[in-house]
Structure 1
Amino acid sequence: MNATDVIAAYYEAFNAGQTDRMLELMHPDVEHHVNEGQIRKGREMFRAFNAHMSASYRETLTDMVIMAHPSGNRAAAEFVVNGTYLKTDEGLPPASGQTYILPAGAFFTLRDGLISRVTTYYNLADWMRQVGG
């Protein structure tokens, strides 16, 4: 698979709730740079992050645009997050099933045909306004 195919498969797995498939597309030494958070290193940290997110949020990504560098080792995606806030996340407003629509993007590095870095960005203040206001 080329870089665009890998990223498309990653997001198809995300939308299908197939977190194990997402992990298969990750390099064992993956670095996950979370918006407003710490860098998580390795597949197990990514697995734990996904479990937490699945418990607290239900999200589907739409309007996906994927771009890749011709070298195949870097890519980016822009999309819209359509979500429901299911369970209160520490330090955030109380969850009561609020819905949100949030533009977001991600940047990737690929190594050996697998995702070795993913950095996700979205406007946290916009999300807070939508769920906490």
Structure 2
Amino acid sequence: MNPASQALIENYYAAFNAGDMDTFLGLLTDDVVHDINQGERQVGRAAFREFMNRMNRNYKEQLVDMVIMSSEDGSRAAAEFVVLGEYLVTDEGLPEANGQKYRLPAGAFFDIRDGKVARITNYYNLNDWIAQVGG
């Protein structure tokens, strides 16, 4: 475990849960790579900001039961957590939203460079989420 990487990921998720997008995005490298669950790879903080704007418009989420792990050298980290969410606005290609609540186990993998998140790859079971929101 690496204390600096551990703290970085803790701060990343604390900012997410607080809805503090400026702090959240400030923890990313300019060229951050974002591998979206069952989706495309996006590169850059601007693309990540657009993704988060869509997510925050369509979903209200809090992450709980967080477990964070990091490599000894601090270059990589992982997190496992549960997403407590509410589906607010219909997202393209997904079932219609009407405030459905969901509880979804998820995980993320990180590359860390110069004290910032350089890559994040998120995983969750999309079929589980669709079943929970009534798709």
Please report the TM-score for the alignment, with normalisation by the length of structure 1. 0.98
Matches within 5 A, 1:35-114: 35-114=37-116
Deviation at 1:78, TM superposition (A): 0.2
Aligned partner of residue 87 in structure 1, secondary structure? coil
Instruction: Note the residue ranges of structure 2 that are not aligned, 5 or more in a row.
Output: none
SS at structure 2 position matched to 1:36: coil
Unaligned 5+ residue runs, structure 1? Answer: none
1:20, distance to aligned residue in structure 2 (A): 1.2
| Aligned CA-pair RMSD | 0.8
| 1:28 equivalenced with 2:30 (yes/no) | yes
C-alpha separation between the residues in 2 aligned to 1:99 and 1:79? 17
Aligned structure 1 segments of 4 or more residues deviating by more than 6 angstroms: none
Residue deviations 1:31-71 (CA, integer Å, cap 9, x gap): 00010111110000000001000000000000000000001
What secondary structure, in the 3-state scheme, does the structure 2 residue paired with 1:72 have? coil
Using the alignment, how far apart are the partners of 1:9 and 1:73 within structure 2? 16
What percent of counterpart residues are identical? 56
Q: Deviation of residue 86 (structure 1)?
A: 0.2
Count residues with an aligned counterpart.
133
Distance in 2 (alpha carbons) for counterparts of 1:50 and 1:78: 20
> CA offsets, 1:1-34, max 9 Å, x none?
7100000000000000011111110011100001
Amino acid at match of 2:55: M
